[in-house]
Structure 1
């Protein structure tokens, strides 16, 4: 009798320990915003945690079946999701599936990853699937950005490479035919294209440096008027689609990173060209204001959506303005500009011109 009492006490304690373990596991799932589910393969009925139901917008109480779950899956992915289930049901294959859903209540689009394993009966027949689900929307967005970034790099670098290839072919052709002429103009064009590539590559590298807080600036005194003149010559030689007006006040000695400031000015002028109609004017100017250098770039494009003004200099921000949705870009140029100016204790801002088309971007940095 004493032995039975002891066994009963042990069994009761085991049940209590198991319940506590389940509660601790569920608490861990909840903390990680992971849902859990047990799906009966034969009836396709599921026991789901509250978090799982929340992810999909399913009723928080009551019976759930597989068809209710797949209603949330985007239509073009349902066949693949059902195929994964069939593989598990027929062959006991583990589950690892990532797919987009539309929340059944809010309509919000999310990417979900489901990972699980099959439980089998004593006869070795798949009986149920135990799985956990997690929201991987952020990871998928990062992956998409990476792919878009690689595509953009390939496209952007292809343009100067094509130009360099063309100029080189001209040089080779002239050399082979014994042409006795000055090759300096063609060589200068090649140099400009190489400079363009170098700036692009430096910009791409800056993204990685900024990610880890490793961007450095190398300050030295120089005359901003010379940098301004270099930009003027380059854009006037390369751009025939817009009328770019450069206006300065002459020599201004500043203590700053020349290459970084040149990148900022290039980015702002290039954006003005990209987002304004062909044949329109772009004004680039600089002046002194309160012991600071103030540089402005004004275009005659579509301007800035007021509710997006505070987001312009965020990483990866792309305007939702439908008028510019075909303009290529990755949303990093203005972010890099803002970070470079921050390292100079400077500032950057943007505004629309009241009663006129276009926007004006202005940055300021201390002279020393």
Structure 2
């Protein structure tokens, strides 16, 4: 262990001071050529006088040291100068001492020495090329990161920032050095620190884990900015060993979205009041016309009633979406009979959907903890969609079954179906299938988005199994243990 530690220490020292092309290039050019010559001459004197030629191999070992030292100080060119001067010194000052005893062998050693010296020089030249390429790649990457509109930072496993790129100045107003050593949580809105810590712990649990985030961070002026980005666990990557964040300022986008949602919420509220009043007047007119026996007029009023009902449903959907986005959609949780709730919804559709046959299969299940009205809303949406998108497929099957710790409600139709590539998007807000004929199926694309949110609030899951042209089976699950 101690040997490995010593090796790592020496390697780090060599890379920092010796094999460092940047430091070598800053040293005076004259010294990079004078020092190898001086070192070779001093070594020659040491070999000839104090050591007094005690061995045939001693000069070569000493000159290898000179070459290595010269390469570390001045690079491959210094090593080449040291190699040539060392060879000359051996030939001029030392070779004649070995002419009488093994002169031929010593001459052969000189040749081998020169070859090995040139190989060492070539090796250092290769190291320089590799370092140059590595340095170029690093500078290119750093330039891309520093000039990017997105921010980039690295933190240790405790969430303390160890590197922050220059773009943080445009995003949050800080200089990079002002954030070094600062915990990320120091910038996060107090209401969001707990949720952030939970997500951060999940990131730490798995190497290579990646997760997106949307947080409010405080800028240098003390204002809260919406920051969106991605965090990656790269602690076990030997070249990084950090948690890596890339992020961008999306405050303007969030504010625009909030303004749009506020407008939709206000407009929906303002529209709902007169439409509700209009619906009431239509129902009164129906009663008067019914008493007078004006059946034809009643048919027209009935159609008007259905259109006002549809309009009210659309307004309710828009209001629910704005409440979901603001976290204001109300829930009243409690134990209820799910089979009975499903049966009530199915019976209501049977009374109005005369063109479809709706079957129901249930099995005994214990009471479920949830909001009965919200679950009815989810099921109403699924059955309503099944009727809407299966005009020529009269059979709709509703099934309640248990799967492990969950109860699963399924709604199957024989309609137009959903292509595989679109199935992940259909639960998105305002999404309308691209394969639908234009102006054929009306709607805002909000029903499934609302249904998915309701199911998530009940700690359940929701999905679909379908093929284009072969109908669809939507399902959602609720935990039986509440």
For normalisation by structure 1, the TM-score amounts to: 0.49
Specify which structure has the higher proportion of helix. Answer: 2
Specify which structure has the higher proportion of strand. Answer: 1
Q: Which has the higher contact order (CA 8 A, sep 6+)?
A: 1
For normalisation by structure 2, the TM-score amounts to: 0.38
